[in-house]
Amino acid sequence: MSKLFRAVIMGPPGSGKGTISERIAHSFGLKHLSSGDFVRENIAAKTEAGIQAKTYIKKGLLVPDHVMTRLMLPRLEEMTKYSWLLDGFPRTLAQAEALYSACDLDVAINLNIPLETLKERLRHRWIHPPSGRVYNMCFNPPRVQGIDDITGEPLIQQEDDRPEALVARLRHYKDVAKPVIDFYKAKGILYTFSDTETDLIWPNISTLLSTKIPAIQSDARCASTH
């Protein structure tokens, strides 16, 4: 049995984390774990942590560290047989430290995208809040404008994706992410990728992971069929 592989991916809103995560999962047989999905599942299941998270989200507040770690870590600790890529967690240094104590991480991928590119992408971004599905009107539009492909429900543009809120949102991300980036850099597992297009970043990420994930792909796919 080859060693399991665990990675996290970080990047500001609009950096293409979701797209790159899906490509990594498909190409290397990893499970793509989204913190947003975990939060929605816990809210739907009315777990104690899910109920707590919902009270913050309804007020438009970020879910605090102690609630996020209670949502995330038990699920990750259950996944002892799988290699995975975690998207959307950790967001803060406290979350990063809690995750590192609970799980052996191999790689932290950091997406560094120019501000103007992020502003342009987010200007065209619409979401389906119940599922978290994200559309971009330029390169990933819904089949019917303004309508979710799967449910037929309306899409919305988040208030904080609007231009006037965006710069403050990105500045806040940078302030919170810097200690996390420095933490992984000190651990020797940080890999930063910079460019304006996902298709230009992807080959470099793929090359890195090809050297880091020997024989995991087939093992993970076998495990996922049982």
Does 13 belong to an annotated binding site? no
Query: Distance between CA 222 and CA 207 in Å, rounded?
Result: 23
Does 88 belong to an annotated binding site? yes
Does 188 belong to an annotated binding site? no
Does 8 belong to an annotated binding site? no
Does 184 belong to an annotated binding site? no
Does 180 belong to an annotated binding site? no
Neighbour order of strands in the sheet with 107-112: 31-34, 84-87, 6-10, 107-112, 190-194
Pairing between strand 133-136 and 6-10?
unpaired
Query: Distance between CA 92 and CA 184 in Å, rounded?
Result: 12
Does 131 belong to an annotated binding site? no
Q: List the structure tokens of 24.
A: 């990594």
Does 91 belong to an annotated binding site? yes
Does 169 belong to an annotated binding site? yes
Does 30 belong to an annotated binding site? no
Does 33 belong to an annotated binding site? no
Does 95 belong to an annotated binding site? yes
Are the C-beta atoms of residues 183 and 98 closer than 8 Å to each other?
no
Does 135 belong to an annotated binding site? yes
Which residue ranges make up the annotated binding site for AMP?
35, 40, 61-63, 88-91, 95, 169
Annotated binding site for a ribonucleoside 5'-triphosphate: 14-19, 125, 134-135, 198
Residue list for the binding site: 14-19, 35, 40, 61-63, 88-91, 95, 125, 134-135, 169, 198
